[in-house]
Amino acid sequence: MSPGTRAARGIVVLGAGLLTLTVAALLSVMVGTRPIDPGIVLDALLHADPQNPDHLVVLTQRIPRTVIGVLAGTALAAAGGMMQGLTRNPLADPGLLGVNAGASFAVLTAITVLGLTQPSAFVWFAFLGAALAAVAVYAIGSAGRDGATPAKLALTGAAVTAGLTSLSMLVLTTNTTALNTYRFWSVGSLTGRGLSEAWFVAPVIGAGLVLALITAAGLNLLALGDDTARGLGHSVRRTRTLAMIAIVLLCGSATAIAGPLVFVGLVVPHVARALVGTDYRWIVAAGIPLGGVLLVGADVLGRVVAAPAELEAGLIVAFLGAPALMSLVLRRRPVSL
């Protein structure tokens, strides 16, 4: 495929993804236990009436969870594509760097030490824990003569994740109050948070997305091998460092507002790769709206399949992502990176 054809295909996929994300966001505002007509949604946005129950549902529930779903989905999808390129591992996802484990341990610490009980109060601790865990993984994985090689990052991430998970399980098995509070957050939900938390992480996610798009071109060279990339005059260390910063910003923010969601960062880059090819510039770019579509769509589906009750978005994503993961493991041809 020529560069021009690849670019045209990428633009089409990106445009289709943005259109689909818009439709998913509209459905997220209208669909639920209490169906709301588009006209009422528009009226709530333009002429909010605190006495109108439909307006209250739109402004205090539907819009915040839609915004959070878009932010978390786009962040995790971009971070997943970066992780797969950085580690040259087609099964890598943001959790490989200890992000989920770090956020979980920080949230448990906030529950047990400070007595916090509301998901909205966990945001700051989850972000800090995710960022510290990822920084620790990169610092340890960078030690030594060869620096942060893909194998060292993966092994260090697995070790940090195992250690933090063990500490978290120790707390959960000895503190019933912490278990009851933590289990709701750990499922991965778009509820229980407001727009104030979303606006806090939005600039961080925006910075992470910009950095990911800038760094994605370097991942194409890393896919050729470190020696080849250096031979072409590319700075391998700089690309890895910038990619890690982008992943920390994206994963930390997404985990903070939506909990430790799984499979979004794993599945979406493979869908993007099937649509736009192996160029990481387009994998990351196309994955941004597709991640939002997956998470917001999962949230809408969770409201419908169990009506009048709801299933958390994290459960729906896991249900959809597990077969995708098995197909990746069992496929006969290796995944092209």
User: Does 100 fall in a domain?
Assistant: yes
Question: Which regions in the chain score pLDDT beneath 70?
Answer: 1-3, 146-148, 325, 328-329, 331-337
User: Does 336 fall in a domain?
Assistant: no
pLDDT score, position 329: 62
pLDDT score, position 67: 94
The pTM is what? 0.88
Give the chain as a 3 state SS string: CCHHHHHHHHHHHHHHHHHHHHHHHHHHHHCCCCCCCHHHHHHHHHCCCCCCHHHHHHHHHHHHHHHHHHHHHHHHHHHHHHHHHHHCCCCCCHHHHCHHHHHHHHHHHHHHHHCCCCHHHHHHHHHHHHHHHHHHHHHHHHCCCCCCCHHHHHHHHHHHHHHHHHHHHHHHHHCHHHHHHHHHHHHCCCCCCCHHHHHHHHHHHHHHHHHHHHHHHHHHHHCCCHHHHHHCCCCHHHHHHHHHHHHHHHHHHHHHHHCCCCCHHHHHHHHHHHHHCCCHHHHHHHHHHHHHHHHHHHHHHHHHHCCCCCCCHHHHHHHHHHHHHHHHHHCCCCCCC
pLDDT score, position 334: 47
pLDDT score, position 1: 60
User: Does 256 fall in a domain?
Assistant: yes
Q: How many structural domains does the chain have?
A: 1
Domain span at residue 112 reads 3-330
User: Does 190 fall in a domain?
Assistant: yes
User: Does 335 fall in a domain?
Assistant: no
Which percentage of the chain shows pLDDT scores above 90?
24
pLDDT score, position 328: 64
pLDDT tens for each residue of 107-121: 888 888 888 777 777
pLDDT score, position 25: 93
pLDDT tens for each residue of 59-88: 888 899 999 999 999 999 999 999 888 888
User: Does 337 fall in a domain?
Assistant: no
Whichever domain contains 142, its CATH number is 1.10.3470.10
